[in-house]
Chain A
Amino acid sequence: MAGIAVLCEVQGGDVSRGSIGVLEEAGRSGAALGVPVEAIVCGSGLDDAKLAALGGFGASTVRVADDALLASGIAQPVVDACATAQEAGGYRYWMAAASIMTADAMAGLAARLGAGIVIDAVELHAEGGALVTRRSGLGDSVLAHCGFVSAVGVVVTRANAFAATDGNGGTAPVERFAPSFRAWSQAVALVGHEDAVETGPDISAADVLVAGGRGLGEASGFGQIEELATAFGGAVAATRAVVDAGWYPYSAQVGQTGKTVTPNLYVACGISGAIQHKVGMQGSGTIVAINKDKNAPIFDYADFGIVGDLNAVVPQLTALVKARG
């Protein structure tokens, strides 16, 4: 029976919470379609006993590829592993929670299999015996009901779209398989890694976050962001653009690759509001945006937006907040 395979990513020794959320959602789809769901895990030095616990989240079997080539989070060897699993399992659908590695791996798999791929799925439905996704688009102004024409369909779900539960404590059989690696997958290798270092306050715990983006112009622009954050008694957050540019530490990054935050107040300054930033902060209580471009997507999901120069507005706001004491 052609079932559903869920690529479950191992991060820091454990299967990611995002992957587990998708595995559980796949379980609901699988039940509606009457097909089994299997977990596919790639890595090196994996602990089968630990992975058996994926049975408690809906996997009927856990298939494990354990190889040094799969240790480093490089996507292409994972494509090979998934393709090997596909040959044996004949899955009708593949799913993964969006991450840097899984999105690339699912893209490569779709190309290899000639399969359709849907990115940023936020809902999964069983309709007429097939899986139909809801794909959010155009700044979340529309939900496209996206299905597949191809024999196999690949779904990458939006980060945080499906929250994981604690599971039912069950286990599933773990079966190992040996991927056949392609030459080009071995022509790319991890040669260095810098771990994100936690600096400053934990932004996930802050009640107020003042976030800065590339609109600050340069690294020193974070000075006024820090002052406003201090006035509010909050902490500072940042976009990937400024973290990649070295303006602010990675530990402050909010979004798909960074942290997910839900402060009471989120003040976005000089941030365009790309979807990968939004997914990390849309659960905030009140969202304020200060941006000089009235068409910036951030205004589509702000409660209060100011079209203006942050260099004027932010210092004024800091002074006003301080004056209230």
Chain B
Amino acid sequence: MRIAICVKEVPDPTAVKRIDDGSHRLVRSGENTLNPYDRHAIEAAVQIKEGPAPDTEITIVTMAPESAGRSVDRALAQGGDRSVHIADEAAAGSDLLGTARILAAALKRELFDLILLGQQAADSECYVMAGLVAELLEVPCITQAASIELADGSVTVKRQVETGYDTVKAQLPCVVSVSDAINDPRYPPLPAIMGAKRKPHEVVTLAELGIDASTVGAAGAATSVGGLSKPAGRGDTIVLEDDGTAAEQLLAFLVEKKVVA
């Protein structure tokens, strides 16, 4: 079984995120980390390898600047066997369509049975990449998987929809994005973290993938951001650290606001 996992590097969730006024792009110069949602996709692949398909090879695929090597290592430490890192300055500024084109081109070079993604990127909260990538690969797609089962060349997924839970079955190869409730990702042990660097890393450019640079990146973007504005906020927020009296202070606040009689 060959599994590819698409992972994204995102700004550290603890950092204050900001969009640059000039380029209208997210400022990514601060601390970055592996998208937390993608850790669930890696764990799902590791569980397949530990369970029904021990001969599985897990490939980490990312499109990111070269500086994202640490996040790739983090993904490998969690259970990847090798990585494909698309790093090219012309990829900067890619929107969903451009990113999907790049990922699909990288995924097309090899025969993967299962392509896993996270439920969404923590920075953009877009949640639709799987649908774009599957269409470009011309393979079936199942999103927001709460469980995954593999049998006889097919994948069966339980997923939440507005009316309840669906069970959906698709032939492999298939693209699946996983819900953050599918598993509890384990933290990699120290030897795995140390060993990640020694796993095969492949860094590829757009040209090596046969991608016309004018169809991706800022040059090929299908969307444009013409300006930024500030939405109406909710108003004042009181936030306090609990020192043992927070519950009392909260109740006093609710009584004063007449929310509690």
Given A75-B131, A100-B144, A187-B140, A149-B168 contact (CB < 8 Å) = no
In the complex, whether B199 has a CB less than 8 A from a CB of chain A is no
In the complex, whether A119 has a CB less than 8 A from a CB of chain B is yes
Selected contact of A115 from candidates B97, B171, B230, B241, CB within 8 Å: B97
Given A117-B223, A193-B166, A321-B260, A240-B179 contact (CB < 8 Å) = yes
Give, as a whole number of angstroms, the nearest-CB distance from B174 to chain A. 7
In the complex, whether A12 has a CB less than 8 A from a CB of chain B is yes
Stretch at the interface among B65-73, B84-92, B154-162: B154-162
- Contacting pair B163 A196 (CB below 8 A): yes
Given A12-B163, A108-B141, A148-B223, A142-B174 contact (CB < 8 Å) = no
Return chain A residues, CB-CB under 8 Å to B125. 120, 137, 274-276
Chain B's closest residue to A152 (CB) is B222
As a 0/1 sequence over residues 221 to 243 of chain B, the CB contacts with chain A under 8 angstroms (1 = contact) are: 11111111111001111111110
Rounded to whole angstroms, the CA-CA distance of A118 and B126 in the bound complex is 9
Chain A's closest residue to B238 (CB) is A304
- Contacting pair A188 B171 (CB below 8 A): yes
Total interface residues on B, using CB and 8 Å? Answer: 83
Rounded to whole angstroms, the CA-CA distance of A76 and B221 in the bound complex is 24
Return chain B residues, CB-CB under 8 Å to A2. none
In the complex, whether A85 has a CB less than 8 A from a CB of chain B is no
Selected contact of A74 from candidates B139, B168, B230, B246, CB within 8 Å: B168
Rounded to whole angstroms, the CA-CA distance of A154 and B261 in the bound complex is 48
Interface members, chain B 83-114 (any A CB < 8 Å):
95-97, 100
In the complex, whether A219 has a CB less than 8 A from a CB of chain B is no
Stretch at the interface among B1-9, B43-51, B187-195, B249-257: B249-257
- Contacting pair A104 B143 (CB below 8 A): yes
In the complex, whether B211 has a CB less than 8 A from a CB of chain A is no
Dominant SS among interface residues on chain A: mixed
Return chain A residues, CB-CB under 8 Å to B130. 104, 107
As a 0/1 sequence over residues 120 to 147 of chain B, the CB contacts with chain A under 8 angstroms (1 = contact) are: 0001111111111111101111111010
- Contacting pair A294 B225 (CB below 8 A): no
- Contacting pair B141 A110 (CB below 8 A): no
As a 0/1 sequence over residues 97 to 135 of chain A, the CB contacts with chain B under 8 angstroms (1 = contact) are: 001110111111011101111111010000000001010
- Contacting pair B169 A191 (CB below 8 A): yes
Interface members, chain A 171-198 (any B CB < 8 Å):
182-185, 187-196
Chain A's closest residue to B179 (CB) is A244
In the complex, whether A237 has a CB less than 8 A from a CB of chain B is no
Given A107-B131, A144-B19, A147-B224, A184-B138 contact (CB < 8 Å) = yes
In the complex, whether B186 has a CB less than 8 A from a CB of chain A is no
In the complex, whether B13 has a CB less than 8 A from a CB of chain A is yes
Return chain B residues, CB-CB under 8 Å to A294. 239, 241
- Contacting pair A142 B168 (CB below 8 A): no
Return chain B residues, CB-CB under 8 Å to A274. 125
Given A243-B160, A313-B246, A145-B96 contact (CB < 8 Å) = no
Give, as a whole number of angstroms, the nearest-CB distance from B37 to chain A. 10
In the complex, whether B14 has a CB less than 8 A from a CB of chain A is yes
Rounded to whole angstroms, the CA-CA distance of A42 and B251 in the bound complex is 50
Return chain B residues, CB-CB under 8 Å to A299. 237, 239
In the complex, whether A206 has a CB less than 8 A from a CB of chain B is no
Selected contact of A145 from candidates B124, B168, B221, B227, CB within 8 Å: B227
Chain A's closest residue to B104 (CB) is A111
- Contacting pair B223 A118 (CB below 8 A): yes
Give, as a whole number of angstroms, the nearest-CB distance from B39 to chain A. 14
Chain A's closest residue to B128 (CB) is A107
16 new A-B contacts, CB < 8 A, other than A196-B163, A294-B239, A303-B235, are A104-B143, A108-B134, A111-B135, A141-B17, A142-B228, A146-B223, A147-B225, A184-B138, A189-B168, A189-B170, A192-B166, A192-B167, A244-B182, A257-B161, A275-B125, A307-B240
4 tightest Cβ-Cβ pairs between the two chains A and B: A308-B242, A107-B131, A116-B222, A244-B181
* B contact set with A: CB distance below 8 Å: 13-14, 17-19, 24, 26, 95-97, 100, 123-136, 138-144, 146, 156, 159-171, 174, 179-182, 221-231, 234-242, 244, 246-248, 250-251, 253-254, 257, 259-260
Pairs across A and B, CB under 8 Å, 10 listed:
A105-B131, A107-B135, A108-B135, A111-B136, A188-B169, A189-B169, A301-B234, A303-B234, A317-B251, A321-B251
